[in-house]
Amino acid sequence: MSAPILSVRALERRVGDVEILRRIDLDVMPGEAIGVIGPSGSGKSSLLRCIAGLDEVSGGAVMVEGRQTRPGDGAVGMVFQQFNLWPHLTARENVALALKLVRRMPAADAAAKADAALARVGLGALGGRKPAALSGGQQQRVAIARTLAMEPRVLLFDEPTAALDPELTTEVLDVIRDLAAAGTTMLVVSHEMGFIARLSTRVVFLDHGVVVQAAPPAALFGAQAEPRVRSFLQTYLDRVAWARDA
């Protein structure tokens, strides 16, 4: 049995009187894809942001490979709903930027690494394009390549397709699925329940900042769902049904 690559221990986040995350415990093994679901305001983004070091935690710890993470150590990479690409830079330059500025990589090496990352998301031919000349799905794939290029140990996706038209969603989900199949450790927040059901090794259901249930998708989307999970999923039953039968 190998050790967890990511350990979240008694993680708490409070802002004023508001308890956003309440003693979250989660161990993620190398190569796992954890789906994170739950109602709006349940703390999904906060959990990912705390793991990524973007939100201050009030208690507990986040460890990657047994070491407490520090902001900027690159252990965790995050992909957001909004792509946040620089409009005046090409796809390649967008991906290479942090390699040059943060990793101090020489420009030619950073460009080569950026091209390799773009190739992994199926955009090897489009590195010279600026965001305005790319579809939303392609822009999100550039954003994924930008995160991949930093070689994080754990990848976090916060509703990566929520800003996309339905037809463009598939190409981004395909990229995430391929990364998972290649053994990338990841946590994915998404309302695409069929995708989560098929992608995830385990699914975590959050409500009011608490993990209500963490279980393999067959259990959480099936007969072993907790009542709160079941009532939430009622709204998604049609889509979950085809995912379960697939």
Ligand X SMILES: Nc1ncnc2c1ncn2[C@@H]1O[C@H](COP(=O)(O)OP(=O)(O)OP(=O)(O)O)[C@@H](O)[C@H]1O
Question: Does residue 45 belong to the site contacting Mg ion (CB under 5 A)?
Answer: yes
Binding ligand X by CB under 6 A: which of 3, 10, 41, 119? 41
Minimum CB separation of residue 43 from Mg ion in Å reads 8
Site for ligand X in 8-37 (CB under 6 A): 15, 18, 20
| Pure H helices in the chain | 44-51, 91-101, 107-120, 136-149, 166-181, 193-199, 217-220, 227-233, 237-245
Contact between 40 and ligand X by CB under 6 A: the answer reads yes
Nearer to ligand X, 38 or 217 (CB): 38
DSSP-derived secondary structure letter, 172: H
**Which residues neighbour 72 within 8 Å (Cβ) at sequence distance 6 or greater?**
53, 102
User: Does 138 contact ligand X by CB under 6 A?
Assistant: no
Does the protein bind Mg ion through residue 190 (CB under 5 A)? no
Distance CA 244, CA 194 (A): 8
Separation CA 5–CA 32 (nearest Å): 9
Per rule CB under 6 A, count of chain residues that contact ligand X: 11
Residue 44 CA to residue 178 CA, distance in Å, equals 23
Q: How far is the CB of 132 from ligand X (least distance, A)?
A: 27
42 binds ligand X (CB under 6 A): yes
Chain residues binding Mg ion by CB under 5 A are: 44-45
Chain residues binding ligand X by CB under 6 A are: 15, 18, 20, 38, 40-46
